[in-house]
Amino acid sequence: MKRMVLSILVDNTAGVLSRVAGLFSRRGYNIDSLTVGETQDPAISRMTVLAHGDDQILEQIRKQLLKLEDVIEIKELASGESVTRELVLVKVSASEKDRQAIISIADIFRAKIVDVALESLMIELTGSQEKIDAFIKLLDQYTIKELVRTGITGLTRGSGDISDYIED
């Protein structure tokens, strides 16, 4: 199975997210990660979708997305040609004896301690999926009370921008 990260420019209108998600569910495709946000142009949103499949399925996903009238442009965020990041917040039980070790792990990953309580620490980390997975694996030896990941977001490298796809 191959992994594909798509950056999709869409009209920023009601129901677009539902139509994109519906396209995946109707065809039995899974969305591994989905992030959506407004771009610098309030009329346009950017969706970043991570999906897995063989070449035929991934090509079918791309073709089906292009058929949606709300879709302006689709770009694959290929490794090496783009920058992708994910954010994770992790709340870890932190007894007095474990606190320094947990802080040391956070420091190694350049994570930030964003909340300190008597019995827990909340840590914020931004990075690649691999970096976040490695961080979580090291924290598994402690009690993770809560964890949330944003999903991948990213942009292609270089000087191109959204205006390359928008008609005046």
Is the distance from CB of 132 to CB of 63 less than 8 angstroms? no
In the structure, what pLDDT confidence band is assigned to residue 1 with cuts at 50, 70 and 90?
Answer: confident
The pTM is what?
Answer: 0.84
pLDDT of 31 over the 80 cut: yes
- Exposure pattern of 30-49 as b/e (b: 16+ CB <10 Å)? ebebbbbeeeeeeebbbbbb
Q: What is the pLDDT of residues 44-91, one digit of tens each?
A: 999 999 999 999 999 999 999 999 999 999 999 998 899 999 999 999
Q: What is the pLDDT of residue 58?
A: 92
Return the percentage of the chain with pLDDT > 90, whole number: 90
d(CA 47, CA 90): 24
d(CA 106, CA 137): 12
Q: What is the pLDDT of residue 166?
A: 59
In the structure, what pLDDT confidence band is assigned to residue 123 with cuts at 50, 70 and 90?
Answer: very high
Give the Cα-Cα-Cα angle 86, 87, 90 (nearest 5 degrees). Answer: 135
Q: Exposure of 99 by Cβ count < 10 A (0-12 exposed, 13-18 middle, 19+ buried)?
A: middle
Domain architecture of the chain: domains with CATH = 2-76 (3.30.70.260), 83-153 (3.30.70.1150)
Look over the chain and give the mean of its residue pLDDT values, rounded to a whole number.
93
Q: What is the pLDDT of residues 85-101, one digit of tens each?
A: 999 999 999 999 999 99
